[in-house]
Amino acid sequence: MIAVVRYNAGNVFSVECALNRLGVEFVLTADEKTLRSADKVIFPGVGEAAAAMHHLRSTGLDRVLCNLTNPVLGICIGQQLMCRHSEEGDVDCLGIFDADVRRLVSTEHNFKIPHTGWDTVTVTAPDGPVPEMLDGQYFYYVHSYVVPVNPDTAAITDYCGPWSAAMHRDNFYAVQFHPEKSGAAGTCLLSHFLNL
């Protein structure tokens, strides 16, 4: 059984649709017992970091998520909230990954912010959430904040400089892009995670 974390963040419907396409059973939940007993946990979302962390703390989900021992996949803001601190709202986050979230800053090439659309991923750690077969594939992004490259980085995208497209530590996996909106490559990634 797959548990999708319900925590007042957007884009959950797209994740549900992707899981339906894969034909897997899932439940949208904030229940601690259900999250702990699930085979896999998906922590998705779009939104603002400070507001999301306020909700997680007010419901106790921050403590639950940090102590999960089953495989967890953070998506988009899910990856950012799994880090130590975010510049978005100047908020302390879950601290699963020892890295801080930074605002994307346009360089001399006048990159558009937010980073919206398709971009490639370079796999740097084959045991991470992006399997090696997807190296160089395009995934769909919508974001203005990133996690710099760090020891937990498992894949890199280069836009306004390189940053963490994916991360991995122990049972925690995360991606900055939206696999549920990334066509065949995204479906492959979700299937890979569900079969870990």
The CB density around residue 17, as the number of other CB atoms within 10 Å, is 12
CA-closest candidate to residue 141, choices 121, 122, 168: 121
Catalytic residue among 25, 32, 76, 109: 76
Element (H, E) at 28: strand 26-29
C-alpha–C-alpha distance, residues 156 and 167, integer Å: 9
Catalytic residue among 25, 178, 188, 192: 178
Is 93 assigned a catalytic role? no
Is 132 assigned a catalytic role? no
Is residue 89 within 8 A of residue 29, CB to CB? The reply is no
Is 85 assigned a catalytic role? no
User: Can the peptide bond before residue 114 be classed as cis, meaning omega within 30 degrees of 0?
Assistant: yes
Catalytic residue among 83, 88, 93, 180: 180
> Which residues are catalytic, by number?
76, 178, 180
